[in-house]
Amino acid sequence: MAASSPILARPPHMILARDTFRFGWNALKGYHSRTILMLLAMTIGVASVLMLTALGEGARHYVRNEFASLGTNLVIVMPGRSETAGVGLGTMTGVTPRDLTLDDVKALTRNPHITRIAPMNVGSAEISWQGRKREVPVLGSTHALLEIRHWHLAQGSFLPKGDWNRPTPVCVIGAKVRNEIFGPHPALGQWIRLGENRYRVIGIMGSEGRSIGVDVQEIVIIPVASAQQLFNVPSLFRVLIETRTRDAMPRVIKFTEDTLQARHQGERDVTVITQDAVLATFDRILGALTYAVGGIAAISLAVAGILIMNVMLIAVSQRTAEIGLLKALGASAHTIELLILVEALLLSCLGGVIGLAIGQLGSWGIRLAFPQIAAYPPDWAVVASFLVAIVTGALFSLLPARKAAKLDPVLALSRH
C-alpha cells in the first residue's frame, strides 16, 4: 500500500458538514432514551413559554373586548375616594361618610355633555316562580342602561322611563334565568318573587350581552329604587355616564367631581374614572403578567439547557471510548468539539420545533376549552422561545464539547 493515496490527497482534512449532521443525528438515534429525555425537557420549556404567553395574551384581549362591550365614552362614578384629599373622617377611616344617592345622580343630568346616565345597584336574591327557585345576581338600574351598555332585548320591553325614585314592581330577566325558571312556559307578564317582593316580567334580555363579571344571561334587572328597597341600601354601587363626545369626557369628569363635592358638603368622596383608564390599567397589568409568566417559562427553558449540559457531560463520559477512537482514527480536537456541539444543537433545534408544535397545539386546546379567550401565543414569544432553546442548547454544550475535545485518547481507549 502506498504512503499517500490519490483520493486522500485532494480533500482538505475536514469533516463534511452533512457528515457532521449525519453523525450527530446517528448519535441521537443511537442513544434514544437519553435523547427523548432531553427532548422532553426542551419541549416542555418551549411549549410552556408558548402556552403561558398565549394565555396571558388571550386574557389581555379578553379584558379589552369586555371593556369595549361595556360601552363607549363612559365615565364611571364610584363611591369612596382612592386618594387622600384634605382631612376628614372618611380619609382617616376609609369609610365614606356620605352615600352616593339617586338625588346626586339627578343633579348630574343638568350637564349638556351628558347624553345618558345610569345609576346602578347590585346584589343577589332568590328568584322563585311556582316553586322553582334560583339564586341570581340582581342589578338595579334605569331605562338608560340598555343603551349605555349596548345590550339587546330579546322580548318585551326594558325598564320603564319615569321617576327613578319610585319603586316599580317590574323586572327584565336574562335568557338563562328565563330558561331555568320558566322552561317551556311563556315568561312575559308572569309575576315572579325576588326575596320578599313580587315583580312582573316585562322583558327578556338577548343572549349576546356580556360584560365584566356579569353574564347578562344570568341576571335579573329591576328599577334602581326597587333594588334599593330590596337590598335596603341607600347608596349606589356605580353611576355610568355616557358623554356626547370623547373630548367632553374631561369636562364631564370635572363637572361630576365638582357637583358631587358641592352636594357632599365640600367633601370629595367619590372616585370618577374613565373606561380608558381602567382598560389601560388592566392592559398594563395583564401585559406585565404575560411577560412574567413568559419569564417563568423561560426559566424552565434555562433549566432544560442545564439538563442538556448535564446529560451531554454524562454522554461524553459514557462515550469516552468512542471519542478516543475518533481521535485515533484521525479526528482533531476541533472536529470532536464540532461533533458534540452539532449533536447538542440538533437536539435543541428538534426540541424547539416539537415544543413549538406542542405549544401551538396546547394553545389551540386552550382556545377549544375556553372559546372566549383568544389564546394565541404572541410572535415575540414564538421567536424568543425557539432562539432561547437553541442558544441555551449551544451554550450549555460548550462545556461538554470542550471536555470531549480535551480527552486523552490513550486513557479514553484503555477504559473498556
Partner 1 sequence: MIRLEQIHRNFQVGDQTVHALDDINLQIDQGEYVSVMGPSGSGKSTLLNLLGLLDRPSSGKYFLNQKNVTELSEQETARTRNRNIGFVFQAFHLVPRLTAAENIELPLILAGVKPEQRHARVDKALEAMHLSDRAQHKPEQLSGGQRQRVAIARATITEPSVLLADEPTGNLDQKSGHDVIQTLEALNQRGITLIVVTHDMAIGDRSRRRINMLDGRIQSDSRQTPAHDPRP
Q: Does 21 bind partner 1 (CB under 8 A)?
A: no
Cβ–Cβ under 8 Å, residues 236 and 224: yes
Question: Does residue 343 touch partner 1 according to CB under 8 A?
Answer: no
* CB distance 124 to 137 below 8 Å: yes
Give the residue with the Cβ less far from partner 1, 324 or 393: 324
33 near partner 1 (CB under 8 A):
no
Query: Per rule CB under 8 A, is residue 335 in the interface with partner 1?
Result: yes
Which residue shows C-alpha cell 348630574? Answer: 108
Query: Three cell numbers at 64?
Result: 379589552
Work out which of 87, 92, 329, 368 binds partner 1, going by CB under 8 A.
Answer: 329
Q: Which residue has the cell 454524562?
A: 314
* Residue 12 makes contact with partner 1 by CB under 8 A: yes
Total number of residues that touch partner 1 (CB under 8 A): 39
Evaluate whether 394 touches 341 at the Cβ level (below 8 Å).
yes
- Does residue number 5 form part of the binding site for partner 1 (CB under 8 A)? yes
Nearer to partner 1, 192 or 401 (CB): 401
Interacting span for partner 1 (CB under 8 A) from 57-65, 197-205, 293-301, 328-336: 328-336
14 binds partner 1 (CB under 8 A): yes
| Position 16 contacts partner 1 (CB under 8 A) | yes
Burial 343-355 (b: 16+ CB within 10 A, else e): bbbbbbbbbbbbb
Q: Does 27 bind partner 1 (CB under 8 A)?
A: yes
Report, in Å, the least distance between residue 4 CB and partner 1: 7
Give the residue carrying C-alpha cell 320603564. 160
Amino acid letter at 30? G
**Which one of residues 141, 327, 352, 355 is an interface residue with partner 1 (CB under 8 A)?**
327
Nearer Cβ to partner 1 (81/319) = 319
Identity of residue 303: V
By CB under 8 A, the residues from 284 to 323 that bind partner 1 are 321-322
The answer to whether 328 contacts partner 1 (rule: CB under 8 A) is yes
* Residue 170 DSSP SS3: strand
Nearest-angstrom CA–CA distance, 416 and 414: 6
Distance between alpha carbon 154 and the CA centroid of its chain, in Å?
31
Residue 272 CA to its chain's centroid (Å) = 26
368 contacts partner 1 (rule: CB under 8 A): no
Examine residue 262 and tell whether it contacts partner 1 (CB under 8 A). no
Question: What letter represents residue 91's amino acid?
Answer: T
CA-derived radius of gyration, the chain: 34
Pick the stretch among 26-34, 53-61, 269-277, 357-365 that binds partner 1 (CB under 8 A).
26-34
Using CB under 8 A, pick the residue from 13, 110, 161, 166 that binds partner 1. 13
Cβ-contact 323, 407 below 8 angstroms: yes
The contact pattern for partner 1, residues 396-415, with x = CB under 8 A and - = no contact, is -------------xx--xx-
Where in 54-93 is the site for partner 1 (CB under 8 A)?
none
* 35 in contact with partner 1 (CB under 8 A): no
Residue among 170, 142, 167 at smallest CA distance from 156: 170
Q: Which position has the grid cell 444543537?
A: 345
C-beta of 43: minimal distance to partner 1 in Å? 23
d(CA 140, CA 411): 85
Minimum gap (Å) between residue 17 Cβ and partner 1: 10
Q: What are phi and psi of 37, to 5 degrees?
A: -60, -45
Phi and psi at 243, nearest 5°, equal -95, 160
Applying CB under 8 A, does 23 fall inside the site for partner 1?
A: yes
Strand ranges, E, within 45-108: 74-79
Nearer to partner 1, 19 or 208 (CB): 19
Residue closer to partner 1 by CB (options 48, 335) is: 335
- Residues making contact with partner 1 (CB under 8 A): 1-5, 7-8, 11-16, 19, 23, 26-27, 29-31, 321-322, 324-335, 409-410, 413-414, 416
